[in-house]
Chain A
Amino acid sequence: MTDPKQHDEIRSFLRSGDPAASEPLDAMEVERMRRRVLTETRGGTSLRSVLANAAGQGLYRRALFGAAAAALLISIGAAIMWRVKPESAGVVAHQPPAAGSPGVGADSAVMPADLRPARTIHFVTESGTRVIWTFDPNFALYPEDAPSRS
Chain B
Amino acid sequence: MPDRLEGLFDAHHERLHRLAQRLSRDAEGARDLVQETFLRAARRVDSVPEGRSGEEAWLVRVLVNLCRDQRRRQRVRGRLEALPDDHPDGASSPEQSAVARATVRQALAQLSPRRRAVVVMYELEEKSVEEIARLLGIARVTVRWHLAAARRHLAEILRGQGTTRTRTS
Query: Is the Cβ of B35 less than 8 Å from the Cβ of A33?
Result: yes
Q: Which residues of B contact A9 (CB under 8 A)?
A: 155, 158
Question: Please, what's the 1-or-0 string for B12-36, where 1 marks a CB less than 8 Å from any CB in chain A?
Answer: 0110011101100001001100110
Least CB distance, A128 to chain B, in whole angstroms: 56
With a CB–CB cut-off of 8 A, which chain B residues contact A40? 39, 42-43
In the complex, the answer to whether B100 meets A37 with C-beta atoms within 8 Å is no
Q: What is the minimal beta-carbon distance from A49 to any residue of chain B, in angstroms?
A: 8
- Minimum distance in angstroms from B45 CB to a CB of chain A: 7
Find B18's partner among A2, A15, A20, A29 (CB 8 Å cutoff): A20
A residues near B73, Cβ cutoff 8 Å? none
Task: Classify chain B's interface size.
Answer: 35 or more
Residues A13 and B104 in contact in the complex (CB < 8 Å), given A1-B148, A25-B14: yes
Decide if A77 is an interface residue (CB 8 Å cutoff).
no
Q: Is A149 interfacial (CB 8 A cutoff)?
A: no
Cβ–Cβ < 8 Å partners of B13 in chain A? 25, 30, 33-34
A144 within 8 A of B: no
A24, B27: Cα distance in complex, Å: 9
A68 at the interface (CB under 8 A from B): no
Q: Is the interface of B mostly helix, strand, loop or mixed?
A: helix
- B-side residues, CB < 8 A to A, are 1-2, 5-6, 9, 13-14, 17-19, 21-22, 27, 30-31, 34-35, 38-39, 41-43, 45-46, 97, 99-105, 107-108, 119-120, 123-124, 148, 151-152, 154-155, 158
Task: Pull 26 A–B residue pairs with CB atoms less than 8 Å apart, ordered by A.
Answer: A1-B152, A2-B152, A2-B155, A6-B155, A9-B155, A10-B151, A14-B120, A17-B97, A17-B103, A17-B104, A18-B124, A19-B22, A19-B30, A20-B19, A20-B21, A25-B13, A25-B31, A25-B34, A29-B31, A37-B5, A37-B38, A37-B39, A40-B42, A41-B45, A44-B42, A49-B46
Q: Which residues of A contact B (CB under 8 A)?
A: 1-2, 6-7, 9-11, 13-25, 29-30, 33-34, 36-38, 40-42, 44, 46, 49, 52
